[in-house]
Structures are given as C-alpha cells and as structure tokens.
Amino acid sequence: MKAGRIKVLIVDDSALVRRLLTDLLSSDPGIEVLGTATDAYVAREKIKALNPDVLTLDVEMPKMDGVTFLRNLMRLRPMPVVMVSSLTEDGAGVTLDALAAGAVDFLPKPKIDLAATLGQYREELLEKVKGAARARVRPLASAPISERLGPDAILPKRAAHHFRTTDRIIAIGASTGGTEAIKDVLMAFPPDAPGIIIAQHIPKAFSTSFAKRMDGCCPMTVYEAEDGQQVLPGHVYIAPGDRHLLLRRDGARYVCALDNGAPVNRHKPSVDVLFRSVAQQAGSNAIGVILTGMGRDGAIGLKEMREAGAATIAQDEATSVVWGMPGAAVEIGAVAQVLPLDQISDAVCRLANDSSEAA
C-alpha cells in the first residue's frame, strides 16, 4: 500500500449500496473513495484510470458476476479485494469461491433499512478495508465500538489438567485469509490424523458451507461442530459461526462444547476461547496452530497452551495474507515454531507422532 490515505473503488450494481458504502468509507479520514462502478466492465476501466489500493466488489452483478471478474483481475492485475455478499447459503458458496480466487476478505451487504446497525457495520467495513490494504495478495496460479472482551468472559483461566491419555488434539485458529489456509493445511493431513478442532472467524451462514466444502476436498471427515460431539482421530470439527467452540473432557473422551456467550475480542467463535479450553483440558497432549488473520485473537490462548506443555506453531509472515494474529502470538512468546504454510501439516504430524517432543 502506498503512503497516505487508502484509495478505494466501490463496485456494486445497487445505487443505494454504492452511496452507503461511499458515505461510510468517506467518514474515515484515512480512506479516500476514488469512485464507483456499476459493473465489471466499468470497474476495469476505472481501475486502469484511478489505480485504487483496495476494491470492494459485489458478488452478484449484471454482465459479469463478481467471482468471474475477480478471477480475471487476480490473473492480470492482482490487488486487495473485499467481497460484499448476501448472508445466504447460496451467497456463502459464491463468497467461498471468491476467497479461493484470491479475495482478501468479505462482509455482508449492508442492511439499508436498519439504521441502528450501521454504526457496527461501519466499524466492520473500515476494519476490513484497512486490513485488506495491508494484506499480501495471492495472484491466482457511527455507534461506539463494542467492548472488547477477553476469554475470561467465556472461560476463566485456571491450571491445566494433567491426564495420562496419549490421545492427541490439534487446535487451529484463523481469521482473514484463513479459509484457504485451513484448506491447504487440512488437505495435507493423512486420513488418520489426530482429531482437529478449528475456530475460524466466519458468519454462521458461511460456516456450514465452509465445513461441507472442506469435507469434500480433505482426506479427513469434516463437520460443523455440534455440542457434545466426540472428538475422534480422522475427524475435523469447525466452530459454527455464531458459537464459541471449546474442548471438554467426558471421562476418557474429548468432546466439543458450544457456548453462546458474548463475543471475545469481538469474535464468536473466538480463537482465544478455543485455545484456552484446549490448554486446560488437553495440556501437553495438544498441538496449537495459529494461521493468517487480522487482530490479536488467539495469541493469549496459544501462550496458555504453550505454558501447559503443548507444542505451538504460527504461520510465517511471508505466507500469511495478514500477519496480525500469528505476529501477535510470536510477539508475546506463545510460539515454538514459525513455519511457512506448506510446512505446517508435516510439522504437526511429526509432533503428533513423537510424544516426547517438547514445546
């Protein structure tokens, strides 16, 4: 990103949405809206003429849909793109296609008829556009800010249990860029890998589709986690987009627990909550992995995992879309290994097979 204000081009076929996004983005002195476009063809010419830093792109547009345009753009002129999508099952599938094609992030369509929610929407929009401006793009081969709660709001900190079981648990947390990073990691695991539990910042409308998509492309069986579901080897459990996912012990078994408490670090699911529960319930039998993401969610929980004897890994800066969460974990000493994305699965498998490996 160039120095100075972040220059944004808005692409949407709705005049109301274009006006609203323009007003919300222009309210931040660090952002300049260069212009708007009604379809992909107008957008193509304005990108050439205006050279924006970030594009907001409608998924459904006339003449050429947003994903097709995105694929062309990422091949010819890679740049940070934030998709604007409807929160429906169909919209979720298309948005996941867009993330696979190189979009940095996404957010729902603004609810124009609900003025009371626009302050919260503005904060999310500004955060995502600013994050996109800092992101590493992968070429295709006003209401007050809500209180930022810590993981204590869901799960108080306490000493880890020390169990004699040798069952391994792998816990993964991610945010911006995480849907593709998680796919890359899961596809490299063998079908009999230890049970994996995942917290990815994603809306509920998208988490079901994301879990189904991962199940279709990964050697392991992938579920959207359910409360009380046993965590088994060869299976992956992804947090629903409107619940915290925690690990619990039920006798000799590990099980998933879902919690409908307040957002933590403004997220539900929260990676900190997941990692803290794993530190407390699995201790040194766990392996924690923090992948690409904006913000600091997961850093504290990963440090608690390491202090409980777990092995901990962070994705490196060069392969992260946004090195916020992994960078924060490294900064506070939560991480034993920092690795490129394509080395993480092998490292986790080695650690899982070597119970004597120290964190």
CA 279 from chain centre, in angstroms, equals 21
CA distance 331 to 274: 20
CA distance 85 to 96: 10
Tokens for 197, please give them. 């539990």
Check 201, 235, 244, 267 and give the catalytic one.
Answer: 201
Give how far Cα 240 sits from Cα of 32, 201, 348, 359, Å: 35, 9, 24, 29
What length does the chain have? 359
CA distance 53 to 134: 10
Check 85, 175, 209, 277 and give the catalytic one.
Answer: 175
- 3-class SS of residue 293: strand
* E strand segments, the chain: 6-11, 31-37, 54-58, 81-85, 105-108, 169-174, 195-200, 221-224, 235-238, 244-250, 253-259, 286-290, 311-315, 337-339
- Among candidate residues 79, 11, 84, the one with its CA nearest the CA of residue 42: 11
CA distance 298 to 319: 18
Write the CB contacts of 334 (distance below 8 Å, at least 6 apart in sequence). Answer: 290, 299, 300, 302, 303, 305, 306, 312, 314
Query: Does 356 participate in catalysis according to the annotation?
Result: no
Q: Write the DSSP assignment of 8-21 as a string of letters.
A: EEEE-S-HHHHHHH
Count Cβ atoms below 10 Å from residue 359 Cβ, excluding itself.
Answer: 19
Check 58, 97, 259, 297 and give the catalytic one.
Answer: 297
| Residue 322 near residue 134, CB atoms below 8 Å | yes
Q: Write the DSSP assignment of 129-161 as a string of letters.
A: HHHHHHSPP-----PPPPP---GGGTS---PPP
Query: Does 244 participate in catalysis according to the annotation?
Result: no
- 3-class SS of residue 346: helix
Backbone CA torsion sign across 77, 83, 84, 85: positive
Query: Does 297 participate in catalysis according to the annotation?
Result: yes
Query: Catalytic residue positions?
Result: 175, 201, 297
